[in-house]
Amino acid sequence: MEIKQCTVADLVELAAISISTYKDTFDAFNTEENMRIYLEEAYNKPKLTKELNTAASAFFFLQSEGQTAGYIKINWGDAQTEAIAPNGLEVERIYIKKEYKRRGLGTVLLSHAETCAKEMGKTSIWLGVWEHNPNALAFYKKMGFEKVGSHSFFMGDDEQIDLLMEKHLI
């Protein structure tokens, strides 16, 4: 396995994996129209280009046997999407292709985020996870995350709740 930081040169692959993994995970729980609108807004090339060029954010592909199996996006400082942990690092996205799930790759990516956080002198890592995603909730709890709050997340016109979870590193 190899972890590789993404650049704008990876834009097409990043958009494709973002859309496919999101659909694989959440398609069954959302209307076709809400999913279409969300995917067009969240993973269009101009938006992803801006995210890739944000100084306080980074994307990392996880490659297994030469194939991209998933990725993680981290934010720190002003790039964090919530003001939960001023000295924390946010894991905004952690996406694994369905054919690579249940192989420990999420653990590899979260460990990479922890390493990045420690190298930056951060005291915690945090993330948001949909309240009705029991597999992800169990995984994050196992990895040492605890619920610290919640926020609304909109899929088109459908308000959903994300639980905010944090893991202290010190």
CATH assignment of the domain containing 58:
3.40.630.30
Extended strands (E) in 40-155: 57-64, 67-76, 88-96, 124-130, 146-155
Question: Could you list the active site residues?
Answer: 140
SS3 content of the chain, % helix, strand, coil (to 5): 40, 35, 25
Distance CA 114, CA 76 (A): 12
pLDDT, tens digit, 9 for 90 and up, residues 110-138:
999 999 999 999 999 999 999 999 999 99
- Domain with 102, as residue range(s), is 2-168
Q: Write out pLDDT tens, residues 22-58.
A: 999 999 999 999 999 999 999 999 999 999 999 999 9
Instruction: Report whether 58 contacts 90 (CB < 8 A).
Output: no
Q: What's residue 108's pLDDT?
A: 96
Query: Number of folded domains in the chain?
Result: 1
The answer to whether the beta carbons of residues 32 and 109 sit under 8 Å apart is: no
- Mean pLDDT calculated for residue range 136-143: 95
Reported pTM: 0.93
pLDDT, position 10: 97
How many other CB atoms are there within 10 angstroms of residue 1's CB atom?
A: 11
